[in-house]
């Protein structure tokens, strides 16, 4: 009897092995997603141990289930199993549906909207080949983010030494080269180094290029003091480089030599002309807008390029005043820098939210409703801005009784239906837009060139204006239309002439192009003007920003004294005061 009691004393602990085996088997099967021999075996073993323990417990005192210890133990076991099951379910959900929270300022660990749209728009499988000996965790996480957005995207790391045939197929020259492959097309992306990791910007642009079968061409008008494509204080090196990364071809255009827009021109950019265009050049631009086309006008204050004959039919009026923004001065940029965080409802700006963009020395734009032209405001200043006149001596003058004050339109987008090869005489009805503020109806500013304004880029200034949605234009339907749906289809299929007018050209110059949303405004406008159906308009991927603090000697001394002397002494004084009070 004593031996039997002793055996049961130790044998009853066998019961706890059963639930442990059951939990191990269930967890292994749920997490792996495969009910192989191992999880099933653990489940069977656990159930067998529990049954064996029940059979061995043959005490005559009230039976097993009649004991108080059994009831208490059963409650404890059920509570324990419930807690373990809940924790296991939470872990299973966490593994299958991971949630990541990106708290960085630029959301550098989250794919940009353009990257997401590009992957989701892939029509055929695209594979990224990374030729490196060892994968980098940061690059792998970025590629995994891409793969989660669409089943057409995949990637593979290849060791060139282990697979020389594959490396020779891509003509790999150095370790770290990254290639895209779609069908029979292969495109080089970049070379990875310890200092330069995989760039979301380059990868997204490469994806957009390989999935597109057409390269748009952008011409920049030259010869009248416009912004040069080469580097320099007024140059557009960064803008041109980014255009080429996104699959565009940028070339200069001199209409004085041949007053005719090339037939392959998808977009023509007139960026900051300082002198009037010749009449044949103006006529060439006018004829260009009579067909499917895209024209961008970036006109600075105190300049008159002589484009009135083009602007008048479109209802565009470049004001002869200068926008003064108190938010620019509050951010340390000066009152001449306009900070925009209000955007109109348009494909160019629909993803900007309340992000900011900077425009040093800008002029307002007035919009006169035209029956054949659809107009939408893009950039809208805050209610605190003023449009001040510029005197002959260059000083600003503001008369509240004469000069407008309030919200102004700094940029607008215009469309007009055209026929090929001649313009349509009566296109379909289009919305009429009431401008936020109308500048002087006839911009007769002095034509004498003035030095191009420059501004020092400052990282992330905070705007003071509060974003508010721009009022949508009222659209009036044609009363004689028999069927609204066919009319919309006809309008969508008819070619359009598109025009974007901005009262500033300095925002795309080197040093300002990559500030905040400046580059996105320009690139989205070019994409919209090019009328490429597969072109994506969104915010470009953010790049890592250096957050290193550079302090002067006085600041370093102050920080050292504060951390090593002032704060410890302050804590000591508080401690002594508390002790003295309780003494």
Q: What is the full DSSP assignment across 163-174?
A: -HHHHHHTT--S
Does residue 319 carry a pLDDT above 80? yes
Q: Which of 527, 473, 118, 515 is CA-nearest to residue 348?
A: 527
pLDDT at 493: 56
Nearest-angstrom CA–CA distance, 259 and 257: 6
Residue listed under structure tokens 């900077």: 358
Number of other residues whose CB lies within 10 A of the CB of residue 41: 13
pLDDT in tens, 181-224: 988 888 888 889 888 888 888 898 888 877 776 678 999 999 99
Does residue 33 carry a pLDDT above 90? no
Nearest-angstrom CA–CA distance, 339 and 45: 70
pLDDT in tens, 345-355: 998 998 788 88
Does residue 521 carry a pLDDT above 80? yes
**Which range is most confident: 24-38, 54-68, 569-583?**
569-583
Report which of residues 333 and 421 the model is more confident about. 333
Q: Which residues of 3-33 are buried (b: 16+ CB within 10 A; e: fewer)?
A: eeeeeeeeeeeebeebbebbbbbbbbbbeee
Q: What's the mean pLDDT in 4-24?
A: 68
Does residue 310 carry a pLDDT above 70? yes
Q: What's the mean pLDDT in 43-49?
A: 83
pLDDT at 56: 63
Does residue 166 carry a pLDDT above 60? yes
| pLDDT band per the 50, 70, 90 thresholds, residue 422 | very low
Average pLDDT, the chain: 78
Looking at the chain, the whole-number percentage of residues with pLDDT higher than 70 is: 76
Strands (E), 325-443: 337-340, 342-343, 357-360, 365-367, 374-380, 386-390, 396-397, 409-417
Q: What's the mean pLDDT in 480-484?
A: 35
In order of 319, 339, 360, 408, the CA distances from 405 in angstroms are 13, 16, 19, 8
| pLDDT band per the 50, 70, 90 thresholds, residue 84 | confident
Does residue 34 carry a pLDDT above 70? yes
Q: What's the mean pLDDT in 6-34?
A: 73
Upper half-sphere CA count for residue 477 (Cβ side, 13 Å): 9
pLDDT in tens, 435-480: 343 333 333 333 333 333 333 333 333 333 333 333 333 333 333 3
CB 445 within 8 A of CB 326: no
Number of other residues whose CB lies within 10 A of the CB of residue 119: 23
Q: What's the mean pLDDT in 150-177?
A: 90
Q: What's the mean pLDDT in 99-121?
A: 81
Tell me how long the chain is: 583
pLDDT at 270: 96
DSSP state at residue 319: -
Looking at the chain, the whole-number percentage of residues with pLDDT higher than 90 is: 32
In the chain, count of helices (H) and strands (E)?
16, 19
Strands (E), 404-514: 409-417, 496-502
Does residue 129 carry a pLDDT above 90? yes
CB 128 within 8 A of CB 178: yes
pLDDT in tens, 343-387: 999 989 987 888 899 999 999 999 999 989 999 999 999 888 888
Q: What's the mean pLDDT in 41-58?
A: 75
* Of 250-259, 543-552, 553-562, the least confident: 543-552
Structural tokens at position 307: 């484009």
| pLDDT band per the 50, 70, 90 thresholds, residue 266 | very high
Does residue 482 carry a pLDDT above 50? no
* Of 411-415, 477-481, 515-519, 556-560, the least confident: 477-481
Report which of residues 450 and 262 the model is more confident about. 262
DSSP states of 175-210 as a string? TTEEEEEETTEEEEEEE--SSS---HHHHHHHHHHH
């Amino acid at each position: 009897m004593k031996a039997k009691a002793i055996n049961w004393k130790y044998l009853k602990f066998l019961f706890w092995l059963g639930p442990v085996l059951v939990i191990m088997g269930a967890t292994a099967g749920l997490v792996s997603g495969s009910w192989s021999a191992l999880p099933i075996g653990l489940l069977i073993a656990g159930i067998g141990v529990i049954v064996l323990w029940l059979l061995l417990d043959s005490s005559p005192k009230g039976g097993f289930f009649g004991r108080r210890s059994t009831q208490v133990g059963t409650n404890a076991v059920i509570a324990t199993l419930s807690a373990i099951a809940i924790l296991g379910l939470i872990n299973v959900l966490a593994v299958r549906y991971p949630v990541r929270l990106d708290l960085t300022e630029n959301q550098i660990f989250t794919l940009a909207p353009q990257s997401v749209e590009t992957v989701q728009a892939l029509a055929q499988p695209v594979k990224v080949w990374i030729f490196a000996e060892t994968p980098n965790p940061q690059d792998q996480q970025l590629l995994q983010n891409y793969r989660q957005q669409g089943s057409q995207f995949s990637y593979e790391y290849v060791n060139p030494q282990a697979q020389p045939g594959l490396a020779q197929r891509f003509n790999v020259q150095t370790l770290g080269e990254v290639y895209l492959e779609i069908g029979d097309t292969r495109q080089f992306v970049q070379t990875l180094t310890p200092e330069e990791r995989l760039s979301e910007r380059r990868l997204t642009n490469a994806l957009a290029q390989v999935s597109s079968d057409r390269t748009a061409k952008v011409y920049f008008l030259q010869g009248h003091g416009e912004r040069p494509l080469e580097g320099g204080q007024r140059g557009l090196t960064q803008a041109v480089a980014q255009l080429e990364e996104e699959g565009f071809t940028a070339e200069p255009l001199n209409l004085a030599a041949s007053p005719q827009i090339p037939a392959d021109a998808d977009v023509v950019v007139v960026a900051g002309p300082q002198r009037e265009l010749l009449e044949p050049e103006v006529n060439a631009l006018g004829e260009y807008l009579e067909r499917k086309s895209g024209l961008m006008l970036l006109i600075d204050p105190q300049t008159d390029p002589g484009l009135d004959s083009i602007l008048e039919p479109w209802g565009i009026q470049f004001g002869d005043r200068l926008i003064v923004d108190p938010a620019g001065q509050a951010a340390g940029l000066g009152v001449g820098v306009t900070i925009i965080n209000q955007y109109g409802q348009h494909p160019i700006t629909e993803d900007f939210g309340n992000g900011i963009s900077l425009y040093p020395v800008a002029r307002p734009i007035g919009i006169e409703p035209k029956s054949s032209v659809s107009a939408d405001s893009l950039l809208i200043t805050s209610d605190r801005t003023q449009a001040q006149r510029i005197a002959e001596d260059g000083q600003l003058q503001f008369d509240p009784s004469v000069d407008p004050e309030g919200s102004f339109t700094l940029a607008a987008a215009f469309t007009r239906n055209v026929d090929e090869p001649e313009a349509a005489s009566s296109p379909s009805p289009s919305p009429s837009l009431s401008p936020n503020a109308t500048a002087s109806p006839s911009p007769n500013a002095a034509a004498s060139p003035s030095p191009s304004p420059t501004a020092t880029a400052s990282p992330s200034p905070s705007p003071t204006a509060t974003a508010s949605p721009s009022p949508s234009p009222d659209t009036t339907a044609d009363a004689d239309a028999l069927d609204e749906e066919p009319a919309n289809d006809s309008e969508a299929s008819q070619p359009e002439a598109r025009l974007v007018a901005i009262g500033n050209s300095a925002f795309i110059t080197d040093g300002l192009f990559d500030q905040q949303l400046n580059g996105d405004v320009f690139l989205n406008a070019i994409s919209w003007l090019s009328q490429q159906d597969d072109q994506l308009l969104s915010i470009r991927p953010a790049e890592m920003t250096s957050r290193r603090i550079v302090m002067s000697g006085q600041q370093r001394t102050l920080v050292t004294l504060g951390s090593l002397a002032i704060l410890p002494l302050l804590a000591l004084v508080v401690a002594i005061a508390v002790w003295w009070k309780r003494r």
